[in-house]
Chains A and B, each alone.
Chain A
Amino acid sequence: MALAIKNPRPPVLRRASSRRTKTRGLALHGTLILGVAVSLFPLYWLFVMATNTTEAIYASPPTLTVGKELLTNIGHVLENVNFFASMANTVVVAVSTTLLVLFFDSLAAFTFAKFEFPGRNLLFGGLITTLLLPGQLSVIPQFLIMINLGWVGDLRALVIPAAANAFGIFWLRQYMQSAIPDELLETAKLDGCNFFRQYLTVCLPLIRPALGFLGMFTFIAAWNDYLWPLIVLTNPDKLTLQVALSQLNTAHGKDYGMLMAGALMAVVPLLVVFLFGAKQFVSDAVKGAVKG
């Protein structure tokens, strides 16, 4: 109770009489729940369609409840595209991109946050400037580079250019400036830790929450990337999930039951990853935005 009184942010409701407070609370939560319903309905509907036959979806009035045809629909997806291979490709791309980004970004951010060296400010300024350059300017030449490297149709074309990014370095540096006390680094230095050992033993353990946040963000972005894979993955046997799904849509646009089963399978892994760290994700997003 004492805590509740101390809370400096007792918004709109506190001064009203208790009955008014209650109705207001009901109205507030009622509206918020309505918003949640709009937010989540498409996903429920995706599940309904993925578990029904196309005929049931086309029926009038349409079927509104979860059906029993999920496995049949998934079976049809597997007959038409090499779904598991595309999923495996996507997992390889998303996981390796995420690991590389976490390593390179945190190492660079640690250096910028905690070390002095000639040209530091100039280099960091340059890094910030690259944030302003939109990706589409480099798409055509990047494709030509991939041709020259022989990486067209190869997953390396997706992973390597994305292996380090300015946003992650900038964001982690902000985080590290307050999260890593200079005294700890001094102690580590006195103990004879070199630069890389300081990164491993002092920096990494202290920035775990930030790495979790950046990792999830990177993973989701890599999983969802569409324009670049569409351009560079020319081999029909080696696609990512998004491109395979798009081809399924073009070729079998009328078989909703099957299409939705495919869409569902592309979404579920992301939702699992997100819900796994949801609480931290949402609160870290909040912190990052305030600091930024």
Chain B
Amino acid sequence: MAALDTVAAKAIQLPPGQPVKGRSVGRRMLKAWPQYLAISPFYALFLVFGAAPIAFSLYLSFHSWNGLGSITFVGLKQYAFLISDSTFYLALRNTLVIFVISTVPMLSFALVIAFMLNSAKRFSTFYRVAYFIPNVTSVVAMAILFTSIFGNQFGIINAALNVFGIGNVGWLSSPFGLKVVIAALMAWQYTGYNAIIYLAGMQAISGEVYEAARMDGAGAVSIFFRITIPLLRPIILFTVIMSTIGGLQGFTEAQIISTSSSTSVSGGVGQGGLTLMLYFYNQAFGNNNFGYGAAIAWGVFIIITLFTALNWQLARSKDK
């Protein structure tokens, strides 16, 4: 086998028209036809619905097109417009604020819940299922539900606040309130999900490490901060990156909650719920600005890449 492989490797390096050795790779490829056939559906679908569209969207972002007339080349004009577009910056700010006020509490609570689940031997299946349930609900249905829970006049949250003597909060009628509602929904849906991921990581930590810490007289709190969190670092980084990618692409929550707000402007009051993806959707499919929509999509892609790289960098610099 090893000999055959080196022959094959050499054959690849030879120029075309070397029949003898070329045939041995060819023959192996021919013999492996069932394998190629078995993996082909993914590659065929990716070519048609992934690679080609991505290439075409890059092409579109240098053009102006409303989907019907002719496509006009405009060079970098779409991108020039993008970096001076105040609505784009508003959407970027909204997205980042929603991301921070949803992700920070979400991952903190998830860590604490996972730590407690790891200590609780009884009812563990019940707890895991109960904490995971918010993640298997329908996002649209839950977004509608949350607009009613946070309703200005009849919402249960304001009713509860009234009991404590706090007046009605205009959740849906202020730009920041809208962000809070969107963030609350995202945090509610993903806290248990992340807790289950952390729990998996914690269960992989050897019991002896904890035992040794307790021998040294460490309590639950110092075990949590000095042992669990440092050992979970890679998994925490993973969830931060996944939450960044998901959070910066948030669409459904923002779209449903901001349409329920008391204005017909997309993004709700003061466009406080206008996220990057909602702005992308409005430009591309509301206004049929395919060229500009493509430019926004690439802008969002670059922002996500930068944030992911930043996460990596922060995680690595802490290692030293």
Interface of A toward B, CB cutoff 8 Å:
8-13, 15, 28-29, 31-32, 35-36, 38-40, 42-43, 45-46, 49, 57-58, 60-62, 104-105, 107-108, 110-112, 115, 117-119, 123, 127, 130, 133-145, 160-161, 163-166, 169, 194-196, 199, 220, 223-224, 226-227, 230-231, 241-242, 245-246, 249-250, 253, 256, 259-260, 262-264, 266-267, 270-271, 273-275, 278-279, 281-282, 285-287, 289-290
User: Which residues from chain A contact B255 at a C-beta distance below 8 Å?
Assistant: 246
Q: Return the CB mask of B10-42 against A: 1 if under 8 Å, else 0.
A: 000000000000000100110010111011011
A32 with B113, Cβ < 8 A, contacts A39-B134, A138-B50, A282-B129 known: yes
Q: Are B116 and A28 in contact (CB under 8 A)?
A: yes
Q: Are A32 and B245 in contact (CB under 8 A)?
A: no
30 A-B interface contacts by CB (under 8 A): A8-B207, A12-B119, A28-B120, A32-B117, A35-B113, A45-B149, A49-B145, A61-B159, A62-B159, A107-B38, A111-B35, A117-B29, A118-B32, A119-B29, A133-B54, A136-B280, A137-B53, A138-B53, A140-B297, A161-B45, A231-B281, A259-B144, A259-B148, A263-B140, A274-B133, A278-B129, A278-B132, A287-B200, A289-B201, A290-B203
B243 at the binding interface (Cβ < 8 Å): no
Overall SS of chain A's interface = helix
Which residues of B (23-75) have their CB < 8 Å from a CB of A? 25, 28-29, 32, 34-36, 38-39, 41-43, 45-46, 48-50, 52-54, 56-57, 60, 67
Q: Are B139 and A42 in contact (CB under 8 A)?
A: no
A58 with B154, Cβ < 8 A, contacts A253-B260, A282-B132 known: yes
Q: Are A160 and B45 in contact (CB under 8 A)?
A: yes
| Chain B CB within 10 A, most for which of A29, A39, A246, A256 | A39
User: Which residues from chain B contact A224 at a C-beta distance below 8 Å?
Assistant: 138-140
Which 10 pairs of residues, A with B, have the shortest CB-CB distance?
A141-B53, A138-B53, A263-B141, A117-B32, A195-B34, A161-B49, A9-B207, A141-B56, A289-B200, A8-B207
| Chain B CB within 10 A, most for which of A11, A31, A169, A223 | A11
Question: Which one of B42, B130, B203, B293 contacts A36 once the chains associate, using CB atoms below 8 Å?
Answer: B130
Complex CA gap A163/B243 in Å reads: 25
Q: Are A266 and B141 in contact (CB under 8 A)?
A: yes
Binds A, one of B76-84, B85-93, B173-181, B298-306: B298-306
Complex CA gap A49/B141 in Å reads: 13
Question: Which one of A32, A140, A142 contacts B293 once the chains associate, using CB atoms below 8 Å?
Answer: A140
Q: Are A279 and B129 in contact (CB under 8 A)?
A: yes
User: Which residues from chain B contact A60 at a C-beta distance below 8 Å?
Assistant: 154, 159
